[in-house]
């Protein structure tokens, strides 16, 4: 399973050229076989950024989410296990959304795709792919 960080989901949606070719291939391959996922917190974060006018979504956050789910993106819910795991991630910065996303990747054994240097440099066994490559 592939888990997209928030900015990567946005990049995929707008076909951002910053997204690396091997990463784009990995995402497309996972999507084709139903193994592309985002955390529920990613949709929350996108809605917050849209509401604060820091990003522009092509439609309402709810309709945008619906389109992505219909297109085959899987939404990973935040449950108690992920919530507790997110509190125990040693040496990871304090951003709660990043902690929930990282905990989701760990729980589901997913490869986390991100360009966030803090997540990429974090000393943990969670599998990661630099979105720029």
pLDDT for the residue 59: 96
Give me the residue spans of the domains in the chain.
2-130
Q: Can you say how many angstroms the Cα of residue 28 is from the centroid of all Cα atoms in its chain?
A: 15
Query: Does an H or E element contain 11, and which?
Result: helix 6-14
DSSP state of 54: S
Q: What is the rounded CA–CA span in Å between residue 2 and residue 37?
A: 6
The 10s digit of each residue's pLDDT in 36-65 is: 999 999 999 999 999 999 999 999 999 999
Average pLDDT, the chain: 97
Mean pLDDT of 14-42: 97
Q: What is the rounded CA–CA span in Å between residue 128 and residue 118?
A: 12
Domain 2-130 has CATH 3.30.2130.30: no
Q: Are 126 and 17 in contact (CB under 8 A)?
A: no
pLDDT for the residue 36: 98
């Amino acid at each position: 399973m592939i888990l997209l960080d928030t900015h990567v989901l946005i990049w995929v949606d707008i076909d951002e050229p910053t997204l690396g070719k091997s990463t784009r291939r990995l995402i497309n391959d996972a999507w084709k076989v139903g193994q592309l996922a985002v955390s529920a917190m990613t949709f929350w974060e996108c809605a917050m950024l849209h509401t604060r006018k820091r990003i522009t979504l092509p439609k309402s956050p709810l309709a945008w989410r619906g389109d992505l789910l219909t297109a085959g993106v899987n939404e990973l819910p935040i449950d108690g296990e992920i919530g507790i795991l997110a509190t125990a991630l040693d040496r990871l910065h304090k951003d709660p959304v990043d902690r929930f996303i990282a905990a989701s990747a760990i729980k589901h054994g997913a490869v986390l795709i991100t360009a966030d240097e803090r997540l990429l440099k974090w000393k943990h066994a969670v599998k990661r792919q630099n979105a720029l490559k």
